[in-house]
Structure 1
Amino acid sequence: MFDARDTVQIDADADAVFEFLDDPHNHAAVTPGLTDVRDVERLPNGGKRLSYTYRMAGAGIDGELVQTVHEPNERMRFELRGRLSGTIELSVTPANGGAELTYAAEYDLSESALTAIGAPVIRRFNERQLRRTLDNVAAQFASNGG
């Protein structure tokens, strides 16, 4: 099991940050390695189910993402299903006149992926990707004037 967690301050209203992240296609715009989001379906809880392709170390990993928690303007939690399994939780809170976005992930990779790449390499890669994702979300609002 791998885990990563980080936070970024965003110069925008927390509700606007949540709304941006509530659109799965925006995740493809800010998440390095996420190359495709498709088959988006709304769920009764307000969340979504979708298929995705994520590129890691040159390999494409297809999977399904199911939003199990959808608390408007506060929190969303996703289950990753497929070769990459685990959870992602995004929390948005008002802070310092803007928003604080926290991204927490726990995930497992298939044994063959671990053997081919190595656990320490995967951990560092994903920590960098998480940081870049947060920075990219903040940049979206900086370039759009909040």
Structure 2
Amino acid sequence: MSDDPFAASDAIAVAADPETVFAFLDDPENHAAITPGLTDVRDVERLQNGGKRLSYTYRMAGVEVDGQIVQTVYDPPECHVFELRGRLAGTIDLRLAPVKGGTELTYAATYDLPKNAFTKVGAPVIRRFNERQLRVALENVAARFDEG
């Protein structure tokens, strides 16, 4: 695990092949359904690399934050990488690997927050929040395929 309080990474086994999981994660509406705090995705456009650019609204600590996501890597069925732009900036890296019984999905996120007194004092809280949010998103993906 990284010492960066603004980075989190975790993995989960998903009961579906990498192609199926990749296709699920390729639909922005599914991200809104699995990601805690992501309340809206809109203005979706396909990019030349096969990925997407879209606008989003994320609710954090009772405050709505709007931004843009640009998919910088689109490598089916192995990898999605997204760049977050706006007030909440950073990267999200989703890696898929075949394993017995399905797919290992690894989710790594790094957020570019300004280093100031608040973020320095609040670093442990920020780390726990990021880790919880990421874990819930992974569990939500796995649950989608466990149901079927």
TM-score normalised per structure 1: 0.92
Structure 2 gap ranges (5+):
none
- Which residue of structure 1 aligns with residue 85 of structure 2? 81
SS at match of 2:89: strand
Cα distance, 1:61 vs. partner?
A: 1.0
Q: d(CA) in 2 for partners of 1:68 and 1:84?
A: 17
> Is 1:39 the counterpart of 2:50 in the alignment?
no
> Is 1:17 the counterpart of 2:11 in the alignment?
no
- Which residue of structure 1 aligns with residue 63 of structure 2? 59
Cα distance, 1:120 vs. partner?
A: 2.1
- Which residue of structure 1 aligns with residue 127 of structure 2? 123
For residues 85-114 of structure 1, the C-alpha deviation after alignment (integer angstroms, 9 at most, x for no partner) is 1110001111012110000011123568x4
Q: d(CA) in 2 for partners of 1:53 and 1:141?
A: 26
> Is 1:91 the counterpart of 2:95 in the alignment?
yes
Contact 1:25–1:37 (Cα < 8 Å) also in 2: yes
Alignment CA distance shift 1:55-1:121 (3 Å): same
Q: d(CA) in 2 for partners of 1:95 and 1:86?
A: 29
- Which residue of structure 2 aligns with residue 142 of structure 1? 146
Contact 1:83–1:110 (Cα < 8 Å) also in 2: no
Identity of aligned residues (%): 68
Q: d(CA) in 2 for partners of 1:18 and 1:76?
A: 8
Structure 1 gap ranges (5+):
none
SS at match of 1:109: coil
Q: d(CA) in 1 for partners of 2:100 and 2:59?
A: 35
Q: d(CA) in 1 for partners of 2:42 and 2:54?
A: 6
Residue identity in the other structure for 1:128: R
Alignment CA distance shift 1:37-1:5 (3 Å): same
Q: Which runs of 4+ in 1 moved over 3 A?
A: none
> Is 1:105 the counterpart of 2:124 in the alignment?
no
TM-align CA RMSD: 1.7
